[in-house]
Amino acid sequence: MFEKLTGMFNKQKGTDDEKTLLQSIDRSRLPQHIAIIMDGNGRWAQRRGMPRSLGHRAGVESLRNIVKLCSELGVKVLTCYAFSTENWKRPQDEVSYLMDLLVEYLQKELDELHSEGVRVNAIGRIGELPNQPQEALKAAMEKTAGNTGLLLNLALNYGGRAEITDAVIKIAHSLNNKQLKIEEINEKVIAQYLYTSGMPDPELLIRPSGDFRISNFLLWQLAYTEFWLTHVMWPDFKRIHLLQAILDYQRRERRFGGIIKK
């Protein structure tokens, strides 16, 4: 059943190699913003008889490769779901491992990200993260603040409902301070109060690992996003998978609730 579904969603050919895919992609119609739910690390590791932590470590490698490819292609924004507001429910050692991995990733990759012109950003309730990850994020964001290449959003302690709640609180303060009038509130204004203020909505959402869920990710921003789902686990997600997803996106007809006259 799953194969049937993914087959329907992803008209991908098993024989596609990277060069062919790169040639097939229309560079003038790239998604400006790609969002990824980096799922399947735990199952990937467990299926190999390894601890879940090694799945997360392997997931960092996929993240590195995909950031590099997005940067090479000229994608404007990449948002990766790295830790949700619900992930605190995991065992303490897994949470600590993920926090340490984030610090390690930022420290090891910062120079390369900077030299590629990547601007690192974090979205979520960052102030509730432990000190070390907060410090590492601050250093990465400060160092890369002037870069004009790919904007890499790491979604950390991120929840779509938390983001909307935070936006409502900020809007209430603006009303209170008389910086905003009720009659001025519209969808555009609400978007300006989200963590993604000033960024285009994602045109493409990728979820590996075979789950068909939104998992509290970018609930407002994904209203008209094209979904690309695959059974491939995140640690096995390679450059060709991203290229397949982009190519598939470019073949879709986006109607935004309207109709396209032929």
Active site residues: 39, 87
Contact flag: residue 134 with ligand FPP (CB under 6 A): no
CB of 45 to ligand FPP, least distance (A): 8
Contact flag: residue 65 with ligand FPP (CB under 6 A): no
In angstroms and rounded to an integer, the radius of gyration of the C-alpha atoms of the chain is: 19
Contact flag: residue 87 with ligand FPP (CB under 6 A): yes
Stretch that binds ligand FPP, among 95-103, 186-194, 197-205, 218-226 (CB under 6 A): 95-103
CA-based nearest residue to 195, from 218, 222, 213: 218
C-alpha to C-alpha distance for 255 and 202, rounded to whole angstroms: 15
Residue 258 annotated as binding site: no
Whether residue 97 contacts residue 53, with contact meaning beta carbons closer than 8 Å, is answered with yes
Q: Which of 31, 85, 105, 193 binds ligand FPP (CB under 6 A)?
A: 105
C-alpha to C-alpha distance for 237 and 10, rounded to whole angstroms: 15
CB-nearest residue to ligand FPP: 42
Q: Which of 154, 162, 206, 247 binds ligand FPP (CB under 6 A)?
A: 154
C-alpha to C-alpha distance for 104 and 96, rounded to whole angstroms: 12
CB of 56 to ligand FPP, least distance (A): 5
Counting beta carbons within 10 angstroms of the beta carbon of residue 191, is it exposed (0 to 12), middle (13 to 18) or buried (19 or more)? middle
Query: Hey, is 167 helix, strand or coil?
Result: helix
Number of amino acids touching ligand FPP (CB under 6 A): 19
Contact flag: residue 140 with ligand FPP (CB under 6 A): no
Whether residue 155 contacts residue 217, with contact meaning beta carbons closer than 8 Å, is answered with yes
The pair of three-digit structure tokens given for residue 93, joined into one six-digit string: 């050692």
Residue 126 annotated as binding site: no
User: Which residue numbers belong to the known binding site for Mg(2+)?
Assistant: 39, 226
Contacting residues toward ligand FPP, per CB under 6 A: 38-43, 56, 59-60, 63, 82, 87, 98, 101-102, 105, 154, 209, 234
